[in-house]
Amino acid sequence: MPRNNHVVVIRFHFPENHPSFMWRFQYFAAVTLPAIRRQSFKDFDLAIWCNSWHENLFKSLDQSIITFDINGNYRDYVKLKNFGKIVRGLHVDHVPWGAVRGLGKYEIQTAIDSDDLMIDTFYLEKTREVLVGSGTAHVCFAPLIFDLATLRTYTCRLQYSTERGSAFYSLYQPEDRWGNYVFVYEDSHLRIGQMMDRQIFVSDNRYVAVTCHDKNDSTNLGIADKQIMPTTSFS
């Protein structure tokens, strides 16, 4: 049984010996993980969806990290809504709860990418504050963009809302609703909120940031991203 009612879940299921893995792992260990551990709210578990050949690496960072995987029958599973959008062929990123192996159910699941940042230490506290209420709920946050090449922070040109969720989101499902439990990575961050009773959007962009770097082919700076501050640390 989970120790806590809140889990932070990160996808990190790279193929064995993939050339991009070690850089991302090192960035996660040096930047992403410390930001998670600096959160003022401490009573949460950290779970990483990875393949068996990387489990010991994550455990070497912190023995309390939970590693889990999916049922082998889902290795080639692709949601129909995502068909045609998979260009790298690296990951099966969206699976139902029935595919998950090695992770228990939690009332609150928080999703964050392995190279993105909780830049405000009160992010998880704010998440819990706005989520808990009647029925199930989804909350997402407007992000900033952290440009790794220049160590500068920018506002994000992309517009998110309760109808179009950001990649910084959490699901709340009280225990009496676990009969139809939804995995936090069951669908795209853009749509998964539609599976909950309530959708909440936090427009205050102080809490989280997307890392923009040359090894991420889905995030880049655009003409409408406005620099707001130089950044040397998120401590």
Let me know if residue 145 belongs to a domain. Answer: no
Q: Which residues pair with 101 in a beta bridge?
A: 69
Let me know if residue 27 belongs to a domain. Answer: yes
What share of the chain in percent tops pLDDT 70?
81
| 97-108 confidence digits (pLDDT tens) | 999 999 999 999
Domain that holds residue 130: 6-139+166-198
pLDDT at 78: 52
pLDDT at 169: 98
Let me know if residue 228 belongs to a domain. Answer: no
| 86-129 confidence digits (pLDDT tens) | 444 445 578 899 999 999 999 999 999 999 999 999 999 999 99
Let me know if residue 160 belongs to a domain. Answer: no
Let me know if residue 25 belongs to a domain. Answer: yes
Q: Please compute the mean of the pLDDT values over residues 136-149 and round it to a whole number.
A: 93
Q: Please compute the mean of the pLDDT values over residues 62-81 and round it to a whole number.
A: 76
Mean pLDDT of the chain: 85
Q: Which residues of 127-150 are buried (b: 16+ CB within 10 A; e: fewer)?
A: bbebbeeeebbbbbbbbbbbbeee
| 176-198 confidence digits (pLDDT tens) | 999 999 999 999 899 999 999 99
Nearest to 22 by CA among 52, 57, 50, 62: 57
Let me know if residue 208 belongs to a domain. Answer: no
Let me know if residue 224 belongs to a domain. Answer: no
Number of domains in the chain: 1
Let me know if residue 108 belongs to a domain. Answer: yes
Domain CATH code at residue 176: 3.90.550
Higher pLDDT: 217 or 124? It is: 124
